[in-house]
Structure 1
């Protein structure tokens, strides 16, 4: 069976609270001769997942700007998908799971932006 779009994830049930840790690695595109180019294909980040009880790695396309959030900042994934890569062995196959997403964003970014954009209201002291 092949799931062309991977397995769509219910973010809250699967990951619970996600906290940003760090950039884990950058994956570069290989040149035609097999050497590694300077062009980045994707970036993988370490995130702490309360739902999984451990650190998870999530890959984001290189077209998305580098994420440099504060350590332990609460984040969420945009359109996360789980997928697999299988490698044939003498006994069958080894299967590795991976998670990819369209982006990683701050969990309360909209709320913070909204508060920053509000102007203080003058208080009527009732004379």
Structure 2
């Protein structure tokens, strides 16, 4: 069975509280000759996930500015989708799950896909 758009996720039930950890890797576009180009296709981040009880990796498109949030900052995924990739082996296939999202934003600081926060630190209110 193939789900063309992946599996839509109930964020609260699946992830609970997510906390930013770090950039894990950048995936580059491959040139026609098989070499790796300088163009970035997507970025994958490590997020601490309390419901899953472990670190998860979430990929976002390279069109979204690089995230450099504080360690343990509470974040939210915009339009997360889970999907799989299968690789044939001598016993059948190995299946890996992955999570993609339109964006990763600071929790309660803007939750619309068009608002990526641009990684600008928030200033405390003036008294």
What is the TM-score of this pair, normalised by structure 1? Answer: 0.87
Which secondary structure state, in structure 2, belongs to the residue aligned with residue 5 of structure 1? coil
Deviations 1:53-111 (A, max 9, x none): 0000000000000001000000000000000000011111100000000000000214x
Deviant stretches of 4+, over 2 Å: none
2:16 aligned partner = 16
2:81 aligned partner = 81
Is 1:48 equivalent to 2:12 in the alignment?
no
1:125 aligned partner = none
2:39 aligned partner = 39
Q: Greater Rg, structure 1 or structure 2?
A: 1
Structure 1, unmatched stretches of 5+, are 121-127
Pairwise CA RMSD of aligned residues? 1.4
What is the TM-score of this pair, normalised by structure 2? Answer: 0.87
2:71 aligned partner = 71
Kindly tell me the number of residue pairs found equivalent between the two proteins.
Answer: 115
1:104 aligned partner = 104
1:6 aligned partner = 6
Mapped partners of 2:25, 2:12: distance in 1: 25
Offset of residue 22 of structure 1: 0.2
Structure having the higher helix fraction is 1
Structure 2, unmatched stretches of 5+, are 111-121
